[in-house]
Amino acid sequence: MNVKRLLVFIALLGIAAAATIFTVNAVQANTLEEQYERANEAFQAEEFEKSVELYLEVLEMDASHQEARRKLAQSYIHLDRMEEAVQTLNEGIYAAPEAGALYTLLSDVYSNEGDIEKAYRTLKKGLRYSEDPSVQETYDHLLSKITIDGERRYVQEGYEREYHLVWSDGDGNHYPLEAEWTVEDPTIGEVTPVEEEPAVTVKGIKTGQTDVVVTWEDFTQTMNVNVEEQVLEEVTFSPEELDAFSLGESLTIEATGKDAAGEEMSFEPEWAVTEGKVQLTSDGPSATLTAEESGLDVLTLSYQDFTKELPVMVEGESESESFIQTNVEGQGRIAVTPDQESYETGDVVQLQAIGEQGWTFVRWTGDIEGTQSTIEHTIDGHLNVTAIFESNSHELNLTIEGEGEIFRDSLTNTYSHGETISLRARPATGWTFAAWEGDLTSSTTSARLTFDEDKQVRAVFVEEEQDEDEEVQEEEEQEEVKETTKYRLNVGKSGKGTIKQSRSGSSFEDGLLVTLTATPSNGYEFVGWRGDVNHSSRTVTIKMNSHYSVKAVFQEVTQEPDPEPEPDPQPEPEPEPELYTLTTSTDGQGYIRVSKQTVPAGQRISVQAIPAEGWTFVRWEGETSGGSTSTSIKMNRNKHVTAVFKQVNESDVEEE
């Protein structure tokens, strides 16, 4: 009897335990689902700091929750905390290598940072372990953005063109790729790598056609190159600009062409008009236009792979009908509101000059003059305007710690927005190169620097430790080496303009020829070369048989305005918004990435603290505080922030 009671008691105890386990699991499941829902609500509300905390709690409850991991990474991305996003995705891929969405998101992070090689390898790994079709789609899309940068495929015999293999992000940014280039017929064209750059030059050896094949990872593209005795490089029209045509009026236009050597050449171009407002008849380099219909048209000349356009305007019979012709110098566009084919006298239009990334609007020229990017104009006749854009410039500050030298492509300290230069560190005898610090972090002696803001770079050299026997042996080896005599070329400028150098670097062997070409910016003219070379030609060639220091002098063009009658009083322009500037500094070793330096009042500037190797970010001081590496500051006055870094001790690393 006692045995039966014991068995019944055990059975009841088992039922109670099972019920308890079921209840706990049900509560936990509901808690996980509710927590994930709260995280999603914060994410949808763009409360990303909160969504990070909630998604982390979800992953603590269920580390295999891939959607929570993916959205946690997206929250980090919105907060510009890229390192944490990468770590989160890599941990997810390690735990669930079949999760295709993690590979595609990680690839997007890498490509947005400009690391195309890591983006590619992430997707290749995803193709091995995941059957998700989105991985293949993202892989194909990544490769579809790789192109050969260099529009022209014709090369003149004895001359060369430069080509890059680049990945383009769709916003005008190009990232060069280290690729292998081969030419099918080396008797027609010769491929030569460009020193210190991921580029090649193709030189025409003899007339003919040959394929040039470029390979990067699994990507291969073939470019057909035509080598000709003469290749059209420049065309001038006579007349250079066309006045408005009257209906039935005819005009003959002559085109003169020059080749790569700057010599005039005879050629038979193709002529075309885009809108059919004029009748076109052509005879070689001559074209005759006859106006048939009022409106705007474009005359296009094409030869080999060269094209040039000339705008055409035909007036109608109505005196009140007017047209607007817009032109651009530099990189940008003009938005006309309202946008229509023609306008009546008295219509009010708005013209807005919009610069591409890295370009700033400077002024209007033509029938409208001024420096405001947005203007209103009342139509009182045909309007022909040009918007002038100039590339933004950035300053480079180089410093050295220890004993050594820094060599670069150009010795100027001012560079255009988006321009990339090569830096090479050379240690002095008894010293070795340690690392680049500041806005460039690398341990290789050669590195590339792209200008999207002012840059500060420091080369760090450390003294070698050698015993006496090694020092004696090194001195003997140096005596045996016969050094080639080299001379330095220092190139500078005053005013606004660019200098192109035929050979990269600043130190050249005895007897080498280096060609310098000066190109003034819009609104400036080239005056001449000064220093060790005094010449008024924009292009000079220097034989390196001694040290040279030269400067290109540009001066602003001053135009005397035509006398005009007193203008009618104009309404006062709206005041420009107040601008405020954010300045930064660091305490410790690291640097600060800033979204913008100066913004209108009320806008925000994002900042990110990036520690140097062996250092960690501690906090912000000044106009903001906190321990997050990324934050933003509302600009209602000039402000200053400091990022505080501390060195990571070895004992701290071991404890972690």
How is the chain split into domains, by residue range?
32-144, 146-228, 318-389, 393-465+484-556, 579-655
- Specify the pLDDT at position 312: 92
Q: Which residue has the higher pLDDT, 302 or 603?
A: 302
The arithmetic mean of pLDDT across residues 112-127, rounded, is 89
pLDDT digits (tens, 9 = 90+) for 573-592: 555 667 888 888 888 888 88
User: Using CA atoms, how far apart are residues 107 and 119, in angstroms rounded to an integer?
Assistant: 4
- Specify the pLDDT at position 6: 53
Q: Residue 272 above 90 pLDDT?
A: yes
Cβ neighbours around 88 below 10 Å, total: 27
> Which one is the CATH code of 32-144: 1.25.40.10, 1.10.1740.10, 1.10.8.80, 1.10.3720.10?
1.25.40.10
Given a contact cutoff of 8 angstroms between Cβ atoms, the answer to whether 372 and 390 are in contact is no
Lowest mean pLDDT of 4-18, 68-82, 408-422, name the range: 4-18
- Specify the pLDDT at position 40: 92
- DSSP 8-state secondary structure symbol assigned to residue 71: H
Q: What is each CA distance from 114 to 79, 207, 448, 450, 634, in whole angstroms?
A: 18, 39, 13, 11, 28
Q: Which residues pair with 270 in a beta bridge?
A: 302
What stretch of H or E contains 232? none
Phi/psi of residue 481, nearest 5 degrees: -85, 125
Cα angle 105, 106, 108 (rounded to 5 degrees) comes to 65
Fold matches, 146-228 and 318-389: yes
Tokens of 299: 């005359």
- What burial class does residue 317 get, using C-beta atoms within 10 Å of its C-beta: 0-12 exposed, 13-18 middle, 19+ buried? exposed
Given a contact cutoff of 8 angstroms between Cβ atoms, the answer to whether 509 and 483 are in contact is no
CA 355 to chain centre: 14
pLDDT digits (tens, 9 = 90+) for 292-333: 998 899 999 999 999 999 999 998 877 778 898 898 988 899
pTM: 0.53
* Helix ranges (DSSP H) in 45-115: 48-61, 66-78, 82-95, 100-112
- Specify the pLDDT at position 480: 41
Cβ neighbours around 338 below 10 Å, total: 9
User: Using CA atoms, how far apart are residues 344 and 383, in angstroms rounded to an integer?
Assistant: 12
Phi/psi of residue 201, nearest 5 degrees: -110, 145
Lowest mean pLDDT of 6-20, 130-144, 386-400, 581-595, name the range: 6-20
pLDDT band at 267 (very low <50, low <70, confident <90, very high): very high
pLDDT band at 605 (very low <50, low <70, confident <90, very high): confident
- Among candidates 502, 603, 587, which has minimal Cα distance to 544? 502
Helices (H) and strands (E) counted in the chain, each on its own, are 9, 46
Q: DSSP characters for 158-225?
A: T-EEEEEEEEE-SSS-EEE---EEEES-TTTEEEEEPTTSSEEEEEE-SSEEEEEEEEETTEEEEEEE
Q: Which among 48-57, 165-174, 228-237 has the top mean pLDDT?
A: 228-237
What stretch of H or E contains 586? strand 579-587
pLDDT band at 419 (very low <50, low <70, confident <90, very high): confident
Q: Residue 224 above 90 pLDDT?
A: yes
- Specify the pLDDT at position 29: 41
Q: Residue 475 above 70 pLDDT?
A: no
User: Using CA atoms, how far apart are residues 239 and 252, in angstroms rounded to an integer?
Assistant: 9
Place of tokens 């002095």: 428
The arithmetic mean of pLDDT across residues 624-634, rounded, is 81
| CB contact set of 483 (below 8 Å; sequence gap of 6+) | none
- Specify the pLDDT at position 121: 92
Strands 548-556 and 486-494: parallel
User: Using CA atoms, how far apart are residues 272 and 290, in angstroms rounded to an integer?
Assistant: 13
Coil, strand or helix at 595: coil
User: 146-228 adopts what CATH topology?
Assistant: Immunoglobulin-like (2.60.40)
Q: Residue 34 above 60 pLDDT?
A: yes
Tokens of 110: 């890498």
User: Using CA atoms, how far apart are residues 164 and 174, in angstroms rounded to an integer?
Assistant: 10
Q: What is each CA distance from 524 to 364, 410, 497, in whole angstroms?
A: 15, 21, 8
The arithmetic mean of pLDDT across residues 366-395, rounded, is 88
pLDDT band at 12 (very low <50, low <70, confident <90, very high): low
Q: Residue 89 above 80 pLDDT?
A: yes
User: Using CA atoms, how far apart are residues 214 and 148, in angstroms rounded to an integer?
Assistant: 9
Q: Which long-range contacts (CB under 8 A, 24 or more apart) does 234-241 make?
A: 234/258, 235/301, 235/306, 235/308, 237/308, 237/310
- Among candidates 565, 539, 571, 566, which has minimal Cα distance to 552? 539
The arithmetic mean of pLDDT across residues 346-374, rounded, is 90
Q: Residue 258 above 60 pLDDT?
A: yes
- Specify the pLDDT at position 268: 94
Place of tokens 């009182």: 380
Tokens of 463: 């003294």
Q: Which among 233-247, 561-575, 577-591 has the top mean pLDDT?
A: 233-247
CATH 2.60.40 fits 318-389, yes or no: yes
- Specify the pLDDT at position 238: 93
- Specify the pLDDT at position 563: 54
- Specify the pLDDT at position 226: 95
pLDDT band at 564 (very low <50, low <70, confident <90, very high): low
- Specify the pLDDT at position 338: 92
| Mean of per-residue pLDDT scores for the chain | 83
- Specify the pLDDT at position 450: 85
Q: Residue 210 above 70 pLDDT?
A: yes
Question: What is the CB-side half-sphere exposure of residue 289 using CA atoms within 13 A?
Answer: 29
pLDDT band at 114 (very low <50, low <70, confident <90, very high): confident
pLDDT band at 561 (very low <50, low <70, confident <90, very high): low
The arithmetic mean of pLDDT across residues 129-149, rounded, is 91
Q: Which residue has the higher pLDDT, 200 or 572?
A: 200
- Among candidates 332, 256, 245, 330, which has minimal Cα distance to 280? 245
With a pLDDT cut of 70, the percent of the chain lying above it is: 87
CA 69 to chain centre: 31
Q: Residue 43 above 80 pLDDT?
A: yes
The total number of residues shown for the chain amounts to 656
| CB contact set of 628 (below 8 Å; sequence gap of 6+) | 49, 79, 81
Q: Residue 20 above 50 pLDDT?
A: no
CA 601 to chain centre: 27
Coil, strand or helix at 644: strand
Q: Residue 523 above 60 pLDDT?
A: yes
Tokens of 469: 């026997």
- Specify the pLDDT at position 27: 40
Percentages helix, strand, coil for the chain, rounded to the nearest 5? 20, 45, 35
Tokens of 382: 């045909």
Q: Residue 19 above 50 pLDDT?
A: no
pLDDT digits (tens, 9 = 90+) for 280-297: 999 999 999 999 998 899
The arithmetic mean of pLDDT across residues 373-395, rounded, is 88
| CB contact set of 129 (below 8 Å; sequence gap of 6+) | 97, 98
With a pLDDT cut of 90, the percent of the chain lying above it is: 29
- Specify the pLDDT at position 23: 42
- Specify the pLDDT at position 235: 94
User: Using CA atoms, how far apart are residues 55 and 85, in angstroms rounded to an integer?
Assistant: 13
At 581, the amino acid letter reads: T
The arithmetic mean of pLDDT across residues 56-82, rounded, is 87
Q: Residue 138 above 60 pLDDT?
A: yes
